Structure 1
């Protein structure tokens, strides 16, 4: 969904991205344990890392939205982001992990969407200096890029 298509509900794009992440994640039960090289060729991704980074991305930008609405500076980012692959990122991706990711990401993306709906249309495109508008933030977060780096791992037929 483009920014223009999200005129009545910019948070919908976030929930749609989460649905795609979870569709891909359901295929990750077949993961062979080998990290995947990202399309830009500089970073490795695994199922756990894709879930972690997507959740962190939602948290980061939800905090940004809250700070913008409160009129206070956004807390500086201190994550390692995708620069590190942790030992936990390399663990097998199990049914329990899929359930946990589904609950975590569904609730988090829904919270993001509801926050934007609560802020209302008057806030979505309001200029805030050098900061993105709330609609632009939603469009940025509404990209399942991390999950796409792992991809669809359904066994070939």
Structure 2
């Protein structure tokens, strides 16, 4: 069911994040980028916020505001910080609240609203949600056994 895609993705990310406690401080180099626990969590949160704003603007009949983030190509100094139990707790709080926002928003929409494709060629809300559910990508980058 569409309203459970984002919460399920967040659960997977947080499950993987539990294994990052005690991270050794060395980034994982994959897919042309350096990955750290903080970077993965930051990218998940940014992606969730970005597309939630896109959905809300669209439903309100307002133009969407394109993001101007540097995305996964940038690893900040803060991304290299230790990843502690407090960081995991903060991530859990932030990401589960964002997942709840998606669940609440999507639960109000019927199939027509979910599948409407704007005339400008933008994705339907269903396609946006399916795309956002792939935020697990960021967490998988830290697992060298996950291709």
Select the residue among 96, 119, 141 that pairs with 2:132. Answer: 141
1:96 aligns with 2:92: no
Per-residue CA deviation, residues 46-82 of structure 1 (Å, 9 max, x unaligned), is 0000000000000000011011112222102111111
Which residue does 1:51 correspond to in 2?
41
Q: Give the Cα–Cα distance (whole angstroms) in 2 for the partners of residues 80 and 60 of structure 1.
A: 13
Residue of structure 1 equivalent to 2:73: 83
Runs of 4+ in structure 1 deviating by more than 2 angstroms, as ranges, are 119-122
Q: Given the alignment of the two structures, is residue 11 of structure 1 paired with residue 3 of structure 2, yes or no?
A: yes
The answer for unaligned runs of 5 or more in structure 2 is none
- Structure 1 position 132 matched with structure 2 position 130: no
Separation of aligned partners in 2, 1:24 and 1:152: 12
TM superposition shift of 1:106: 0.5
Q: 1:152 to 1:108 in 2, by over 3 A?
A: farther
Change (3 A) 1:103 1:152: farther
Give, in whole Å, the separation in 2 of the partners of 1:117 and 1:66: 13
Q: Unmatched 5+ residue regions in structure 1?
A: 1-5
